[in-house]
Amino acid sequence: MFLLFIASHAPTQAQWTKRPREYGIRFGVIPTGPLNAITDVPGVRVGQVTLLHGPNVRTGVTAVLPHPGNLFRQKSPAAIYIGNGFGKLTGYSQVEELGTLETPIVLTNTLSVPTATDALIDYTLTQPGNEEVRSVNPVVGETNDGYLNDIRGRHVTKAHVLQALWEANTGPVQEGNVGAGTGTVCFGFKGGIGTASRKLPGSLGGYTVGVLVQTNFGGVLQIGGMPIGVELGKFSFKEKLDGSCMMVVLTDAPLDARNLKRLAKRAFMGLAQTGGIASNGSGDYVIAVSTAYQIPHDSAEAFDQVKVLRNDSVSPLFMAAIEATEEAIINSLFAARTLTGDGGHTAEQLPVEKVVEIIRKAGQLK
């Protein structure tokens, strides 16, 4: 079996493709972080394992680790928003109930969720300090890559998931046909992993919002407000374009679970700005996490004493999440490359030069 592993720092073809901003396409008004990636949030690591072998295996794993410590013993405030619930996300109810995340976030394909869940349990139980742990709430999201991938073969193993977790790194994040985005299709074109970030000015707190997406959904593609799907003649109801989108939003702003849920809702607005419609068969979820503080698993204190932002201070973060999510989705399309997979099915890459020309003629390039 041929296995291609791609870590977040490893150079690949996708890394060197031009991102939309390099063509003059802009999304919103807030500046990006240095990498324009989820890893602009300090301490955040991403690991990816890509499975490309034979004529029909096109899948993988993407892992997001909010902080470098023991996530079970030092839990992160978190929330999950369900835009459309046709999905197999594990771990939702405890996050909803307690407002904390106690494992890394893993993304993979639909039928590999149980395998990834088992791997996350193994990962947690083997962490130093967790020797007496007897309950774990693993959080695993998915999209269905069964058009290009032999999804029934369930080729993702626990070893692949653990590899993504242990080799996760800071720095640039690979986009396009990598990790959990290897076999995905978005707006009728090849989808994949995408990421982006926003850095608020100091006067608004100086906080960073980073987003990572796994794009596998349909609608009427819009880029920079332009009806690209219509111009290219590829859109829902003209063709069968269904699917899902997983969105992971991390921020170093001190938010509690309630305002993280509100932040997650705004990420869904970013999806809408790309033309996504959250169709009946689409599993669209947003997982939002704050890295600003941790909540200890054990404490002799009866009270958690943390300072969190007031409601009046969160609007800039909402805007940042909208802009970063929109850009991350479009970044995934620009990075993805034509791929043939299971059953000879082919997903063509977005015709980037044609898209740029459409936007240029409309006078929308910056």
Blockwise average pLDDT, block size 10, the chain, 366 residues: 38 62 96 98 98 97 98 98 97 98 98 98 98 98 98 98 98 98 97 98 98 97 94 85 92 98 98 96 97 95 93 98 98 98 98 96 87
pLDDT of 328: 98
* 8 Å CB contact between 66 and 291: yes
In eight-state DSSP terms, residue 270 is H
Region of 124 please: left (phi>0), alpha (psi -120 to 50) or beta: alpha
Query: What fold, for 4-8+21-296+309-361?
Result: L-amino peptidase D-ALA esterase/amidase (3.60.70)
Annotated catalytic residues are: 244, 282, 284
| CA–CA dist 310, 290 (Å, integer) | 15
pLDDT of 9: 35
pLDDT of 16: 54
| CA–CA dist 128, 349 (Å, integer) | 44
Closest CA relative to residue 113, chosen from 134, 87, 95, 149: 87
| CA–CA dist 26, 366 (Å, integer) | 7
φ, ψ at 3 (rounded to 5°) = -120, 125
Q: Is 163 exposed, middle or buried (0-12, 13-18, 19+ CB in 10 A)?
A: buried
Whether the full predicted model's pTM is greater than 0.85, yes or no, is: yes
In eight-state DSSP terms, residue 45 is E
Domain boundaries, the chain: 4-8+21-296+309-361
State CA 354 to chain mean position distance: 26
pLDDT of 304: 87
Residues forming a β-bridge with 183: none
| CA–CA dist 137, 121 (Å, integer) | 8
